RNA sequence: GGUCCCAUCGUCUAGCCCGGUCGAGGACGUAGCCCUCUCAAGGCUAAAACACGGGUUCGAAUCCCGUUGGGACCGCCA
């Protein structure tokens, strides 16, 4: 039974990189009909917050990455780590280190200055008696030999033990450290595959030594490449929106985000668009690339527009309502006629790339009056076009059935009578009705806006001039 | 600085493991054309890459070595 975990530390919102790690784990679990476990690595109490834990869970939920177990919290398991650490101490596989953080820091600085590797010199490793001083517990790394990580993505990676440091597993305040907790937890939670960011690759040999010291078999490892910002450095706040939830708030669909994330570092031939089921069916670690990937916001935007096109009008309506409320086009609790709203969305869905854009475009369907863009007004609402607007208003007013084809006939008749080009009348009307020169087809727009609002807007403009 | 990882169009990538079918394919973006009441969408076309240098081989994007470049890690952070 495959068991994988996503183990974020709640020191920030779930970002793009973390989300992809979570996704790969989730896909791997679902593909193998295994379990996906969430574990919160909050041993750094000073930087972890409840708010971030909730935010991460919310983001996972939005992405649809449901977990089968957890969230477990490391802070609730402190006694377990402590017991394992003392067991290693008793068995002589770890030792008390009496060096203070200040001393260690000073020595590190010194070593750096001399151009030497800033590694702990193991001076406490040989102290056999117990001193009456505060101590941390350090793990004994074998002095010689080498260890190889059989990585499912990178292949075999070998490290010399002499390059590894005796790491602290229990701090002097009795709290355990990351590299130790992971091992204990992954063992305790029966994790079979550790799929995580490449930034952990260098930690892996240390962890493997801890597994061996504990007398347990390490899980399989898969280190996936990093996601970099456009400047090729690690994705961070200064690259703008990197929090997954900020994309939700900007009107991205979670399936588009999932699809985007999946294709960052993984591929399946030339296919670009995948349903979740396809992703589950096709996902494998062999197809995960080895090279880092740069986050390409343009492609995400494109994917989002593709997903909007693929989504039903009913579903889009449901999704766009919060944005309509946010934009102030709809009051909380107010509803729209379902059939009418779907027609409106249908006319707009292929020209909007986000739900936010869709909501904004819907303003001219929903509101009584719209603000007219000054430049468009200057160009299209002129003394030449006002008579045309007046005439078309009269004709539209006389129309019994305010439908697309009837409206079209009125426009075409007028164009033919006067020898105009359609644009000469369509554009002024568009500007009056939608407030700008850009919209779906004018007949469609008028039908959806409806006779009443159409006439109101036309008359207001005519009377104002 | 040390250790480790990586290297195909600007970007995501296919191909690489199992050399010849690659005069390197797809997608985003960009440019142009078509469609057209505007804007999109759609269709067509174009520019655009095997980092470099050595091997191995009849033949290398594919295998080996080196160089360069990028990234990660070197904490009583995770």
Concatenate the DSSP letters of all residues of A357-386 into one string: HHHHHTHHHHSSS-PPPHHHHHHHSSTTHH
Q: How confident is the model at residue A366 (pLDDT cuts 50, 70, 90)?
A: very high
Q: Is pLDDT above 90 for A212?
A: yes
Strand B nucleotides in reach of protein CB atoms, 7 A cut-off: 1-8, 10-15, 25-29, 36-41, 70-78
**pLDDT tens digits for A277-310?**
999 999 999 999 999 999 999 999 999 999 999 9
ipTM of the complex: 0.93
Per-residue pLDDT, A183: 97
**pLDDT tens digits for A330-359?**
998 888 899 999 999 999 999 999 999 999
Mean residue pLDDT across chain A: 92
**pLDDT tens digits for A54-92?**
999 999 999 999 999 979 999 999 999 999 999 999 999
Per-residue pLDDT, A51: 92
Q: Which nucleotide has the shortest C1'-to-CA distance from A436? A: B38
User: pTM for this one?
Assistant: 0.93
Per-residue pLDDT, A121: 84
* Number of neighbours of residue A153 by Cβ within 10 angstroms: 20
Contacts of A464 (CB under 8 A, 6+ apart): none
- Spanning CA of A133 to C1' of B11, the rounded length in angstroms is 56
- DSSP annotation string for A172-233: TTS-B-HHHHHHHHHHHTT--EEEEEGGGGGGHHHHHHHHHHTT----EEEEEPPEE-TTSS
Q: Which helix (H) or strand (E) holds A275?
A: none
Q: Which nucleotide has the shortest C1'-to-CA distance from A160? A: B3
Higher pLDDT residue, A110 or A261? A261
Per-residue pLDDT, A231: 82
Q: Which nucleotide has the shortest C1'-to-CA distance from A348? A: B40
Does the CB of A187 fall within 7 Å of any strand B atom?
no
For residues A225 and A154, what is the distance between their CA atoms, to the nearest angstrom?
9
Q: Which structure tokens are listed for A323?
A: 């944005």
Strands (E), A219-303: 220-224, 227-228, 293-294
Does the CB of A404 fall within 7 Å of any strand B atom?
no
Q: State the average pLDDT over residues A391-397.
A: 91
Q: How confident is the model at residue A464 (pLDDT cuts 50, 70, 90)?
A: confident
Q: How confident is the model at residue A237 (pLDDT cuts 50, 70, 90)?
A: low
Q: Which structure tokens are listed for A231?
A: 């400047």
């Amino acid at each position: 039974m495959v068991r994988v975990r996503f183990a974020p530390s709640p020191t920030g919102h779930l970002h793009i990189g973390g989300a992809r790690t979570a996704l790969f784990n989730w896909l791997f679990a679902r593909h193998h009909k295994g379990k996906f476990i969430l574990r919160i690595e909050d041993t750094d109490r000073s930087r972890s917050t409840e708010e971030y834990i909730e935010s991460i869970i919310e983001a996972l939920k939005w992405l649809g990455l449901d977990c089968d177990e957890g969230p477990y919290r490391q802070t609730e398991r402190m006694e377990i780590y402590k017991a394992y650490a003392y067991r290693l101490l008793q068995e002589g596989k770890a030792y008390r280190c009496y060096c203070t953080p200040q001393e260690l820091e000073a020595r590190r600085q010194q070593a750096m200055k001399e151009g030497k590797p800033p590694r702990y010199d193991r001076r406490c490793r040989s102290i056999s008696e117990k001193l009456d001083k505060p101590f941390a517990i350090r793990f004994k790394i074998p002095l010689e030999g080498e260890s190889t990580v059989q990585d499912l993505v990178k292949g075999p990676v070998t490290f010399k033990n002499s390059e590894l440091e005796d790491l602290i597993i229990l701090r002097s305040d009795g709290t355990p450290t990351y590299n130790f907790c992971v091992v204990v937890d992954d063992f305790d939670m029966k994790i079979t595959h550790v799929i995580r960011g490449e930034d952990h690759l260098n930690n892996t040999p240390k962890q493997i030594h801890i597994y061996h010291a504990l007398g347990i078999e390490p899980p399989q490892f898969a280190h996936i490449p990093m996601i970099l910002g456009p400047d090729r450095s690690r994705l961070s706040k200064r690259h703008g929106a990197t929090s997954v939830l900020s994309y939700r708030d900007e009107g991205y669909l979670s399936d588009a985000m999932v699809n985007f994330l999946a294709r960052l570092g993984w591929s399946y031939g030339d296919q670009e668009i995948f349903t979740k089921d396809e992703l589950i069916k096709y996902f494998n670690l062999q197809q995960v690339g080895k090279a880092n990937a740069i986050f390409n916001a343009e492609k995400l935007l494109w994917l989002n527009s593709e997903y909007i096109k693929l989504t039903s009008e009913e579903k889009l309506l449901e999704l766009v309502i919060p944005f309509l409320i946010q934009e102030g086009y709809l009051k909380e609790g107010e509803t729209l006629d379902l059939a009418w709203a779907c027609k409106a969305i249908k006319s707009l869905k292929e020209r909007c790339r986000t739900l936010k854009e869709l909501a904004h475009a819907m303003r001219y369907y929903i509101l009584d009056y719209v603000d007219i863009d000054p430049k468009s007004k200057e160009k299209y609402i002129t003394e030449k076009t006002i008579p045309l607007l007046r005439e078309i208003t009269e004709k539209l007013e006389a129309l019994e059935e305010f439908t697309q084809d009837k409206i079209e006939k009125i426009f075409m008749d007028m164009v033919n009578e006067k020898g105009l080009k359609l644009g000469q009348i369509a554009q002024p009307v568009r500007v009056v009705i939608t407030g700008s020169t850009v919209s779906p087809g004018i007949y469609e727009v008028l039908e959806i806006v409806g006779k009443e609002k159409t006439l109101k807007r036309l008359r207001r403009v005519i009377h104002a001039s």
